[in-house]
Amino acid sequence: MGITEKIIIDTEKIRKEGKNLEGKQVTIRGWVWIKRSSGKIRFLVIRDGKGFIQCVIENPDLFSTFDEISQESTCEVQGLLKEDKRSPLGFEILVQNLKILFKTEDYPITPKEHGIDFLMDHRHLWIRSRKQFAILRIRHSVKNYIREFLHKEGFIEFDSPIFTPSACEGTTTLFEVDYFGEKMYLSQSGQLYQEAGALAFSKVYCFGPTFRAERSKTRRHLIEFWMVEPEVAFATLEDIINIAENMISYTIQKIIENNYYELQLLERNVDNLRKITPPFYRIRYSEAVEILKSKGLEFNFGDDFGSPEESAISESFDKPVVITHYPKNIKPFYMKIDPENQNFVLNMDIIAPEGYGEIVGGSQREDNYEILLQRMKEENIPIQDYQWYLDLRKYGSAIHSGFGLGIERFVAWICKLEHVREAIPFPRMLYRYRP
């Protein structure tokens, strides 16, 4: 049989249906990831976009083709599928035919260690490497399971605009854009529009890129990041915490179930992830401050938590911790004042374990027209730009709550990454926006 008459399959199919294909002849197309020899045997690890598979060449007639192949050359491999318990895929191919489709020379990313700047400059190629492959497939699945969860819960996807005339999270981190001579901004959060959506459709969410002109150069900050923002009519702070906990737990358990291959490629210890089930720990801001004090950290009551504080707090917990009731002064105008203590708001931040910091920010929203107007005035918010938002409290106002989850921080935690920059295909950071 010539190499042209064959059924081409991919490694995803091999992973899922390999048992039925064992001993059969298979053909895959892909790129050479690793090439090596050992005595009389030659090995190629091929990546085909769905996974990585070892191909074993014992037939000396194929050695000259093997010698011509280099890393990232495109090729077609035909051979017998054999179980290989040591590989995460579970199978290897005993090669019978080998064909080069495109030759590659001098691929810049070699198996040796490269510095981060070099890798970032070659991000368009770096995404092919095994770790990046696993992370970005998990990112895809995370987005998918979040949507699946929300749809099961009766949410509809309701898109917020990216160009906005008004700020949501404070004016210091806005990206200004010239909109035919008018000043506009790139969205920091779709929340305000989701509030309009919740009063029209009861349970809505948006899922898209958001932008912050933040001069922060940390492991947790991107300039462009993706956020999912559910918003629910008639939901209290308590209700929205439950939704967030369930959404996070559902997604993680689905990832363990269906992305085990990728987690194995990352050598992620899944025992810590299996524990992520509701309920999470819940403490108030004031209790979080006590924890910091008990650890001997210097901290002034009333300040906001930064990365060091978040890490210190999360060390005490093996699951995410939900921190509620922050001081009003450090939180945005739209959060509902705690009726029991006017100095605090009905908000929540969820801090991930293993040092990943804040992954969720949310709150019950101020539903009273007068109080909201008062708070906006106190904070010098240009009321004329927010008339439409105030309308939501004038016509059919209702208790409502929502939150935003940052996808890159969530993925970084699930994959146990050093930095959020690897959790998005083409990161935008303070000093890095190419390619």
- The partner in contact with residue 393, picked from Mg ion, ligand 4AD, none with C-beta cut-offs of 5 to 8 angstroms by kind, is none
The CA–CA distances, whole Å, from 216 to 48, 188, 202, 220 equal: 37, 15, 36, 9
Q: What is the CA 38 to chain-centroid distance, rounded?
A: 40
Least distance from ligand 4AD to the Cβ atom of residue 154, Å: 18
Return the residue of 47, 137, 203, 221 that touches ligand 4AD, per CB under 6 A.
221
Exposure b/e, 396-431, CB count within 10 A at least 16 = b: ebeebbbbbbbbbbbbbbbbbbebbbbbbeebebee
Cβ atoms within 10 Å, residue 24: 11
Q: Which of 50, 45, 47, 111 is nearest to 84 (CA)?
A: 45
**Interface segment toward ligand 4AD; rule CB under 6 A; list 111-119, 270-278, 290-298, 403-411:** 403-411
The CA–CA distances, whole Å, from 309 to 265, 312, 329 equal: 32, 5, 18
Least distance from Mg ion to the Cβ atom of residue 404, Å: 8
Interface residues for ligand 4AD in 349-378 (CB under 6 A)? 358-362
Q: What is the CA 353 to chain-centroid distance, rounded?
A: 15
Least distance from ligand 4AD to the Cβ atom of residue 182, Å: 24
Using DSSP, state whether 190 is helix, strand or coil. coil
Number of residues lying near ligand 4AD (CB under 6 A): 23
- The partner in contact with residue 353, picked from ligand 4AD, Mg ion, none with C-beta cut-offs of 5 to 8 angstroms by kind, is none
Q: Is 386 in the site for ligand 4AD (CB under 6 A)?
A: no
CB closer to Mg ion out of 18 and 361: 361
**Interface segment toward ligand 4AD; rule CB under 6 A; list 38-46, 72-80, 102-110, 224-232:** 224-232
Q: What is the CA 70 to chain-centroid distance, rounded?
A: 33
* Strand-strand pairing, 52-57 and 91-102: parallel
Q: Is 169 in the site for ligand 4AD (CB under 6 A)?
A: yes
Least distance from ligand 4AD to the Cβ atom of residue 299, Å: 20
The answer to whether the beta carbons of residues 320 and 281 sit under 8 Å apart is: yes
Return the residue of 141, 191, 251, 314 that touches ligand 4AD, per CB under 6 A.
191
Q: Which of 340, 337, 403 is nearest to 370 (CA)?
A: 337
Q: Is 427 in the site for Mg ion (CB under 5 A)?
A: no
Reading the block at residue 304, the tokens are 């906001």
Q: Is 212 in the site for ligand 4AD (CB under 6 A)?
A: yes
Least distance from ligand 4AD to the Cβ atom of residue 400, Å: 11
Return the residue of 54, 71, 141, 189 that touches ligand 4AD, per CB under 6 A.
189
CB closer to ligand 4AD out of 63 and 175: 175
Q: What is the CA 149 to chain-centroid distance, rounded?
A: 16
Q: Is 227 in the site for ligand 4AD (CB under 6 A)?
A: yes
Q: Is 362 in the site for Mg ion (CB under 5 A)?
A: no
Q: Is 190 in the site for Mg ion (CB under 5 A)?
A: no
**Interface segment toward ligand 4AD; rule CB under 6 A; list 29-37, 83-91, 312-320, 397-405:** 397-405
Q: At what angle are helices 285-294 and 307-314 packed, to 10 degrees?
A: 80
- The partner in contact with residue 189, picked from ligand 4AD, Mg ion, none with C-beta cut-offs of 5 to 8 angstroms by kind, is ligand 4AD
Q: Is 168 in the site for ligand 4AD (CB under 6 A)?
A: yes
d(CA 215, CA 221): 9
Reading the block at residue 86, the tokens are 């040591």
Q: Is 320 in the site for ligand 4AD (CB under 6 A)?
A: no
Cβ-count burial of 323 within 10 angstroms (0-12 exposed, 13-18 middle, 19+ buried)? buried
Return the residue of 51, 190, 357, 361 that touches Mg ion, per CB under 5 A.
361
Q: Is 402 in the site for ligand 4AD (CB under 6 A)?
A: yes
Interface residues for ligand 4AD in 404-433 (CB under 6 A)? 404, 406, 408-409, 420
The answer to whether the beta carbons of residues 295 and 320 sit under 8 Å apart is: no
CB closer to Mg ion out of 252 and 350: 350
- Looking at residue 329, what DSSP letter applies? G
Cβ atoms within 10 Å, residue 232: 23
CB closer to Mg ion out of 353 and 361: 361
Q: Which residues bind Mg ion (CB under 5 A)?
A: 361
Q: Which residues bind ligand 4AD (CB under 6 A)?
A: 168-169, 189, 191, 212, 214, 221-222, 225, 227, 229, 358-362, 402-404, 406, 408-409, 420
